[in-house]
Amino acid sequence: MALAGKVVLITGAGSGIGSAIAAGAAAAGASVALVGRRADALEATAALVRRIAGEHTRIAVLPGDMRTGAEAERVTAAAIDRLGRIDGLVNNAGVARFAPLESATSEDLDAMLDTHVRGPVALIRACLPSLRTHRGSVVNVSSVGGTLAMPGRSLYGASKAALNSLTRSLARELAPAVRVNAVLPGPVETPMYDDLGLDAHATAALRANLLAGTPMGRFGTPDEVAHWVCTLLDDERSAWVTGVLMPVDGGRTA
């Protein structure tokens, strides 16, 4: 099993891509620390993990808001206390607020920067001693929005571009002890589209636009993204891979 004996901490683990990553990592042999703001959603993911990977799977359910350094340190300490170590960190938590510049709010910008930049920085810093000891791996779940021009979604794209830059710089800074990579999904069928700050008509128009710009002709699935996250966590398959921004986007950035 590719991740046998590893401990992987996953943020945003309560739904969508995060839930799929947890299930995929556990199926590959990892113990998983599930982090997110909603305890009920994390418990649902834990139940999914047990169905897929078996009742014996070691799971720590750790509700918390990772946008502050104190919470990152608390959750990291709790994960190590319950599971013994951290070999892999997946910064998957995300928030999307789409609006033209004139109507975008500072509060929405702060929420995206907190979630996509400050939170990952705090968690990487908190996990770093264990990651260094065990020659671990960080995978940031970013977005093709961090590389494409996106009118009406510029602030979201800017926050993901910052995460992409952080990924590449830390890959050099933390090598060779810790690998740092990012997966850049295109449009994926997740609950995110129910919480964009857009009305139903605007959301439908956005989805149609995304679909039209995706050569594979469909949205991706959380499992298709989780596959590549788990591959980048795997030392055997990705031991010489760091600093990569990997599009998983149905050809959207081709």
Look at phi and psi of residue 135 and say left if phi exceeds 0, alpha if psi is from -120 to 50, else beta: left
Question: CA-to-CA distance for 227 and 148, rounded, in angstroms?
Answer: 23
> Strand runs (DSSP E) across the chain, as ranges?
7-11, 31-36, 59-63, 88-91, 137-141, 179-185, 245-248
Out of 104, 127, 156, 247, which one is annotated catalytic? Answer: 156
Question: CA-to-CA distance for 137 and 239, rounded, in angstroms?
Answer: 9
Name residue 179's beta-bridge partners.
137
Name residue 10's beta-bridge partners.
34, 90
Residue 156: active-site member: yes
Helix pair 119-133, 154-174: axis angle to 10 deg: 20
Q: Cite the active site residues.
A: 156
